[in-house]
Amino acid sequence: MTTAPRVRECARILLERGGLRPRVHLVLGSGLGGLSARVRDPVEVAFGDLPGFPATSVEGHAGRFLIGRIADTAVLVQSGRFHLYEGVGADTVAAPVRVGRALGARTLVLTNAAGGIRSDLVPGSVMLVDDCLNLMFRSVLAGPVTGDESRFPDMSRPCDPALMALAEAAALEAGTLLPRGIYAAVGGPHFESPAEIRALRAAGADAVGMSTVPEVTVARAGGQRVLAFSLITNRASGLGLGSLDHEEVMRYGDEAGATLGALLEALVPALPR
């Protein structure tokens, strides 16, 4: 058993070190850590400095927060996240979102690496998450209600339509294609079999990954607005040429991460504070 992170205490440490209250919390997925170079006057706090935060065990997930500014907007940028497949508790997976909210972030922007199922979602493309399919067979909220979160949060619009429109405007301006799609979250850590991908396609999934849905759920339970982007790093199992491995996911994260980075840099100042 891991000790559950102490959310208030973690928020206090981040506020004390960072000296500002972030309005936007950005979570960077596998291979997307390069985006942290876009934060002005960053103060770094490693996960290991926060009570109850275990070190992340996944290569490509740095495990740290940066507090600083993108343009004039105060941001909390999180490199690395906790996944249920690491064997940590739901409280640990949820903790970074709760810490961001305790600090004052009203908007949560999530990014992830995902496999493309729909035919246009080829490696290197970016998808704006329109809706989620939770195929992790559990809710991150199971257990006692935390703080002022809702017991039965509404998930009829997991991602905020007005913020999605802002993201689409920023993409249009930058000349970046940003198709909408449905993100399916599976438990992992193994990649899917081709039969599972066919089942996911039939269920309406456009892309598949192993994160994000728990964070969206926690954010919605706490009344935060959410935006989420999938960086397509590979064709899903059975749809591409060869087998899948984490190195491939990381390589595309590095390459196409730059496109998503530029998009986020343009978008953040347009988000409501």
Binding site for ligand HPA (CB under 6 A): 113-115, 191-192, 208-210, 233-234, 236, 244, 249
- Is the separation of the CB atoms in 82 and 140 below 8 Å? no
119 token code pair: 């035919």
Q: In this structure, are residues 192 and 236 in contact, taking their beta carbons and an 8 Å threshold? A: yes
Q: How far apart (Å, rounded) are the C-alpha atoms in residues 247 and 24?
A: 30
Q: Which is nearer to ligand HPA, 78 or 233 (CB)?
A: 233
**In the complex, least distance from residue 31 CB atom to ligand HPA, rounded to whole angstroms:** 9
**Residue placing its CB nearer to ligand HPA in the complex, 15 or 133:** 133
Instruction: Give min distance, CB of 184 to ligand HPA, in A.
Output: 9
Least distance (Å) from ligand HPA to the CB of residue 112? 7
The rounded distance, in Å, linking the Cα atoms of 105 and 213 is 18
Closest approach, Cβ 205 to ligand HPA, in A, equals: 10
Nearer to ligand HPA, 14 or 197 (CB): 197
Does residue 213 sit in helix, strand or coil? helix
Residue whose CB is less far from ligand HPA, 19 or 189? 189
| CB of 132 closer than 8 Å to CB of 220 | no
Catalytic positions, written as ranges: 30, 61, 83, 85-86, 113, 210-211, 234, 246
Amino acid type, 239: L
